[in-house]
Structure 1
Amino acid sequence: MPDSRLPDARQILAAIPSPAILVGAADEVIGANGAALALFPRLRLGEPLWAGVRAPGILAATTAARGGGARAVEHIERVPVERHYAVQATAVPDAEGQVLLLFRDRTSELAAERMRTDFVANASHELRTPLASLIGFIETLQGAARNDANAREKFLGVMGDQARRMARLIDDLLSLSRIEMSRHLPPSTPVAIDGVVREAVDGLRMVAMDRGARLEASIAGGPWTVAGDRDELYRVIENLAENALKYGREGGRAEILVRPSAQPLGEGRAVEIVVRDDGVGIAPQHLPRLTERFYRADVRESRQKGGTGLGLALVKHIVGRHRGRLDIASELGKGSTFTVTLPLLP
């Protein structure tokens, strides 16, 4: 006699969070949970599986599973957005001809794999370029320019620049790796943001002088104290302010504003660090991707200015670790604004 405490098939299907379909011996649908009905809107109980699931691979796996064991197949849904599923078709024991279809969403997993592959390829490319340049200059100095003092001096200067570029890239890669490893551990040390801003402005005086530009800080009220890692927050402000100087107008003005946020972050008050430049601005299509690793709106200009392509990725990850938010706005011909919002300590 069956145990009345055991749930029936419908209850079991309903408890499964991912799409699940129970198929009968005649390929009719005898059960489906809400996730499956959302994925396949044409699916109807009592009707053939093929009427609701227009995927030959899934239908073939269902038939094959009746021969024993389980069958796996990949399925891609392209509407309304592309999603990738691993589908497992398993014969139900002691239920003649019935097959259970389970769908596992692999979209995020595959996207992460693509990101890792792209990251390795991009990092290799970014290192290969200055390395190839170094090798070329070394071979030239060993050959035709061996006894040319002027050429040697010029080439050594370029080689030094390329070596420093590689060092910056490696430093950024190591920093990004370290921050990602600790992203689930929010820092807890009290840090006065106004002090970090003043220190960053002082540290960038020479960069501003080289550009003939002005870097100004305006701090409203304060002190503004957040829970943070001081070195990481310094890096955020330094990176954004240095970019504002590099990509702003020559002889122009970059500014950092520290002010209370008009919108709370979470349940408490927040502070905004706003960094503005007066440069050419960034085209709208580039804005959503600016914080991707190695993404550049202008590859040539970024490299000429010593960029590694990782600066804004570092900023995004540091701000995320501090449970903050990064917003980017830009208008062509008028400049760009980067706003970091951080929760204040009570």
Structure 2
Amino acid sequence: MKRTAVIFAFAVFIPALVLGGLALRSLRDQRFAFERQRLQLAQDAADGLARALASEVDELQRDFGRQAEAIIGTNTPAIAAWSFDEQLREVWPLAEVGFSVRLGAEVCSPSVMDNREASRSFHRLNRDFLTGVECVEVFAVTPKGRINLSAQPTTPAPLKQQVELFRNVAPVQGIGESLDPLKSRLQTSAADFKQLVGDAQEGVVARRMPDRLDVLIWHRSARDSQVVFGAQLDRSQLIARLAPRLQTEPAFGSEFAVALLDERVQPLVRTPTSFTTASWRRPFAASEVGEALPHWEVAVYELDPSRPAAAATTFRWTFGSMIAGLLAAIAVGGWLVVQETRRELLMARRKTDFVSNVSHELKTPLTSIRMFAELLAEDRVTDPVRRRQHLEVIATESARLTRLVDGVLDFARLDRGGATAPMQSLDFSILIRDILVLHETRLRSSGIEVKTRLPEDPVIIRGNADALAQIIVNLISNVEKYAASGQELILELETVRAGGGAKGLARLSVSDRGPGIPAECAGHIFEEFYRAHDSLDSGVSGAGLGLSLARKLARAHQGDLRHVPRSGGGSVFILEIPLA
């Protein structure tokens, strides 16, 4: 039995646990892969939107070039430069201030005496930078890319080394989030305007001021390379121009929100407009717009950050429950297999004992029959009385042998589900009396006093007389074998009426005053091949089929046979058969 359990554990249960563990690990890997895919989707969207915004800035730069050339018109660049601020603001609303500068010399427009405060402030803050007197921290880009100051011609102006920058946001970098700042791909350098312009025709310069970021677009006319025209972009107009570029697909927008963050990590544009978050610095994914708008980020946020985790938890619990259910089913199935194996092993042992008992039971009467038959055949017994006694022994043992063989055959027939004998209406009380007439003498000779409590009125049932007689004989025989010491046998027949119009029952109680049936055996006495005294040395004959066969016959009559302990000692077997 232990070997079977060990084999089952190693062959089924342990592999099932291993498969369950692998399934859970695969589930975890799938969740990680799903999160990576979502993160990659969001990052790709942020990168695409950032490129779209950078492309829009490039379009602004080209648009400004066309506006500058239109203002110059038929004039020379040197003449158009002196009134460029006023003329540009009249035709191009994106310009907060227009400016023109002669490289390394002077600012032509706006002048320090301009009647507009914004223009005067621009002149005051940017004059030294534009004329080459002062180097400032800037981000600069031309159509050829970011400006490489190391490739510029040497100038007496002092240059500072490029500084490594960090981004203002810390987007998710995977399943395990990190709060470490990310390095920016942008670079800042200290230079004056002439260095930044170099030999390019147009470009963008972003200058960091104490409280804001100024974006300067410039253009140089091919007719005069020393005069450069530019504009400081109006922040509100720039945001309005960029906002339409921040639209996403509906499917993406149902799960994510998008925001354009400025250098102070404040949302300039957001989609949807009602979206807000506790920390704009912690987007799900983000991408820098570029040198034209340094420290501006396209940030992607989850509309419901708990939804993926909740979905993963639900899926994990569902999948885990399925695995647990499978393991439980395997465990229960294994337990049932083990129990069935134990039952089969027990049945096999009982069948072995049954064969031994039947062999013994067959051998005993056959030995007696053969011995007395040989004595009579050889005329070794001449006394008529003794010859009659020997013949009675032969007849008794033959009847015993017949009952044993018939019992085995009946049990085999019922065990195969064979048809029962034909049934007819009969008086159960008369049947019991007829059986007692045949067996009462033998019982009294064994010291058993037989008492009956049978009704005078007929008790009509529908059944097979031989089968019912076999049940009663088996019960009486058990009293004779096991309970003769009690010297009492009581057969009591009564009718039990059922309510609701149902048929009643004929109930026969067979009681004795024997030693009774041990409690540990009471639940097994109706099992096949079971014997409470399971030993050839017990002195009690039998094959362990009597009670099992009796119950099968009772149930074939739609009735039942059961056992209860008798008060004061002994046993009571109750046979119930439906009334006709």
Mark the CA change 1:272 to 1:185 in structure 2 (over 3 Å): closer, same or farther: same
Mapping of 1:1-346 within 5 angstroms?
Answer: 27=23, 44-47=317-320, 50=323, 53-54=326-327, 75-77=330-332, 82-84=335-337, 114=345, 117-118=348-349, 120-129=351-360, 168-182=403-417, 188-220=423-455, 222-250=457-485, 252-261=487-496, 267-299=502-534, 304-331=539-566, 334-345=569-580
Report if the CA contact (8 A) 1:188-1:228 is conserved.
Answer: yes
> Cα deviations across residues 46-69 of structure 1 (Å, max 9, x unaligned)?
3386555448xx9xxxxxxxxxxx
Mark the CA change 1:267 to 1:301 in structure 2 (over 3 Å): closer, same or farther: farther
Bigger helix fraction: 2
Residue correspondences, number: 254
Give distance in 1, aligned partners of 2:353 and 2:490: 32
Mark the CA change 1:300 to 1:83 in structure 2 (over 3 Å): closer, same or farther: closer
Q: CA deviation at 1:125?
A: 2.0
Give distance in 1, aligned partners of 2:578 and 2:466: 17
Cα RMSD of the aligned pairs, angstroms, is 4.6
Structure-1-length-normalised TM-score: 0.58
Larger Rg: 2
Q: CA deviation at 1:78?
A: 8.0
Q: CA deviation at 1:287?
A: 0.8
Give distance in 2, aligned partners of 1:297 and 1:308: 11
Letter of the 2:23 counterpart:
D
Give distance in 1, aligned partners of 2:543 and 2:499: 33
- Could you tell me which residue of structure 1 aligns to residue 178 of structure 2? none
Mark the CA change 1:197 to 1:127 in structure 2 (over 3 Å): closer, same or farther: closer
Mark the CA change 1:213 to 1:50 in structure 2 (over 3 Å): closer, same or farther: closer
Return 5+ residue gaps in structure 2 as ranges.
1-18, 28-315, 369-379
What secondary structure does 2:337 align onto? Answer: strand
Q: CA deviation at 1:290?
A: 0.8
Give distance in 2, aligned partners of 1:134 and 1:241: 20
Report if the CA contact (8 A) 1:184-1:321 is conserved.
Answer: no
Q: What percentage of aligned pairs have identical amino acids?
A: 21
Q: CA deviation at 1:252?
A: 2.0
Mark the CA change 1:305 to 1:129 in structure 2 (over 3 Å): closer, same or farther: closer
Q: CA deviation at 1:134?
A: 9.6
Give distance in 2, aligned partners of 1:230 and 1:115: 34
> Cα deviations across residues 237-277 of structure 1 (Å, max 9, x unaligned)?
12112322343344722110000136679942111000001
Letter of the 1:122 counterpart:
D
Report if the CA contact (8 A) 2:358-2:542 is conserved.
Answer: no
Return 5+ residue gaps in structure 1 as ranges.
1-22, 31-42, 59-74, 86-106, 138-148
Q: CA deviation at 1:130?
A: 5.5
Structure-2-length-normalised TM-score: 0.37
Give distance in 2, aligned partners of 1:234 and 1:169: 15
Report if the CA contact (8 A) 1:248-1:278 is conserved.
Answer: yes
